[in-house]
Structure 1
């Protein structure tokens, strides 16, 4: 694994975006689309929480 992938995996673990250890331990393996989408939704909810008032 190169340095770029190692840094990305370190950030994913630190932020807790992806919780499935099967995919965290094998960064060179392709992940299913649902794993990627779940991580994206998690990031979007952190940036813009769904339950904020509009005021």
Structure 2
């Protein structure tokens, strides 16, 4: 595993975006689209929570 993948996995674990060890232990294998989408949605909700006022 190269350094770029190791850094991405470290950040994913630190943020708690993806908790399924099945995908975290196999960084070189492709993941299903739903796993990627779930991680993206969770990251978006952390950056812009859905229930914050605009003011």
Query: The TM-score by the shorter chain falls in which range?
Result: over 0.9
Where in structure 1 are there 5+ consecutive unaligned residues? none
- The corresponding residue for 2:22 is 22
Q: Secondary structure of the residue that 1:42 maps to in structure 2? A: helix
Q: Distance in 1 between matches of 2:50 and 2:26?
A: 31
Q: What is the aligned length?
A: 55
Let me know the Cα RMSD of the aligned residues.
Answer: 0.7
Where in structure 2 are there 5+ consecutive unaligned residues? none
Give the alignment's TM-score, normalised by structure 1: 0.93
